[in-house]
Structure 1
Amino acid sequence: MTPLDELCQIPFHQADAAARARILSQLADTELFAALTADPVGDQAELQSFAVDEGRFALACDREDRLAGFIGGPVAHLALPGRVLADALAQEGQGLLINPGEVSELMLDAAMLGWLARALAARPSLGAAETARRLSAPGADAVSVLAAPLAQRLGDMVGLVGQIGLVAAEWAEGRHGHMLILRDVDPAHEDAVAKALAELMAFLPELPGGVDIAFSARALPGQALIIEPPPPKPAAPVARRDPKAPPRLR
């Protein structure tokens, strides 16, 4: 199973907001193999597309063999990240069919791809915990929206982020919102980590006052909800051959 398969055990259009955010975030970072009408000529390539009631759709899969299996044989294709393909198709007013016939089948129209491209362009709102006038326990709405998606996203950032503390924050100018305080992040990776979290939050319901991102080497505030990555999946047991079994002959 591919990462998209694992996330789509509940079909995308039936999933809740947190699950859809996770799927779209994974799609953006997945290398897709898009079917072409012919082999590329120089830097020019034409995507295969087909018309349905909802509009025109290009075809792509997250594995080359899936694409060939759906087409019925070898096909000229282009490999590129999902975010790049989504942006290009949105500009052309086309949709995208992904992994047809698989558990992770997605049919995203041009409007959804346009929304995805705008979400991926989200920029983080950076702050510092020290600049807040007051920090307190996060609101229940923020916990319900952010806790599970952030824990899952941390699973993709093992070694980059140690912990995230979610707090409610009040600033000197009177603004009330929330803040994510990230611990144990190498300064060289701060921009990339902040951008990844900003993208994730762009897929989730908006919280009043917004959510700032801050980096700190200090212990997280006592009022914070501590968010940590999910535990790693246990390794599959290694099959051991019965030492008393007869030898295998070839």
Structure 2
Amino acid sequence: MTPLDELCQVPFHEADAPARARILSRLADTELFAALLAEPADDRAELRLFDLPEGRFALACDREERLAGFVGGPVAYLALPGRVLAAALAEEGRGLLVNPGHASQLMLDAGVLGWLVQALQARPSMVPDEAARRLGAPSPEAVALLAEPLAQRLGDMAGLVGRLALVAAEWQDGRQGHALILAGVEPAHEDAVAKALAELLAFLPELPGGVDIGFAGPDLPAGALVLEPPPPPPAPEPARRDPSAPPRLR
């Protein structure tokens, strides 16, 4: 099972709009192996296109062996992020077939790819400079909508974010909404982290008042939803040689 498979417990084209948006968000951050007509030459590569009733589609998989299995043997490919492939195909009016025959099979026409590219252009709404009038526990609707996607995105940002908290906020101008307050982020990484969270929010239904993004800041209120990235996997233990084994000769 790949991360895309895990999100496609319900097939993409049968899922509701929020689930489809989350799948597309994951696709954008997935390394895809796109089938080529031939090995790249002079830094140029030509995608292998398939003529289907719905139009012309490129083929890509999230595992090399899946691509070879579908084609029926060795195939030239180009490895690139889903967002880059989507942008190139949308510009040419082509579609994209992903992981045919697997749980995460997707058939995305140029219109869907164009929507994906537009969503990826989202810019973060940052917490206002002035202090909030009030911070409180997030609404149940916000928790239900954001908790799982935020936890998954934090998994992608392990080592960059120490803690993320979702709170309800009322600002000095009277606007009421929610905020994501992050801690443990190096200043050099703040723009990239905020952009990644803005992209995530762009793929989800909008909450009343919006969701602002801020770093450090005030003490968290009671009831804040606090998430931390998973710990890094333990380093593998070094192989130990059997002391009774014969010496190795060079």
1:218 is displaced (CA, Å) by: 5.2
> Normalization by structure 2: what TM-score?
0.83
Residue of structure 2 in register with 1:126 after alignment: 126
The SS at the match of 1:20 is helix
Residue of structure 2 in register with 1:198 after alignment: 198
Contact 2:130/2:172, CA 8 A, preserved across alignment = no
Residue of structure 2 in register with 1:25 after alignment: 25
Contact 2:137/2:221, CA 8 A, preserved across alignment = no
The SS at the match of 1:131 is coil
* Cα distance in 1, alignment partners of residues 192 and 156 from structure 2: 13
Contact 2:60/2:97, CA 8 A, preserved across alignment = yes
1:159-181, Cα deviation, whole Å (9 max, x unpaired): 32232221222222232221111
1:111 is displaced (CA, Å) by: 1.1
* Cα distance in 2, alignment partners of residues 227 and 41 from structure 1: 46
Contact 1:167/1:224, CA 8 A, preserved across alignment = yes
Task: Kindly indicate whether residue 178 of structure 2 is the aligned counterpart of residue 178 of structure 1.
Answer: yes
* Cα distance in 1, alignment partners of residues 130 and 136 from structure 2: 13
The SS at the match of 2:133 is strand
Residue of structure 1 in register with 2:100 after alignment: 100
* Cα distance in 2, alignment partners of residues 145 and 46 from structure 1: 40
1:189-218, Cα deviation, whole Å (9 max, x unpaired): 222211111111111001122110011065
* Cα distance in 2, alignment partners of residues 25 and 98 from structure 1: 14
1:22-79, Cα deviation, whole Å (9 max, x unpaired): 4323211221111122232323322111222322211011122221221122222211
> Normalization by structure 1: what TM-score?
0.83
The SS at the match of 2:180 is strand
Q: CA RMSD in A?
A: 2.5
Unaligned runs of 5+ in 2: 234-250
Residue of structure 1 in register with 2:9 after alignment: 9
* Cα distance in 2, alignment partners of residues 14 and 182 from structure 1: 35
- How many pairs does the alignment contain? 234
Task: Between 35-44 and 72-81, report the one with greater CA deviation.
Answer: 35-44
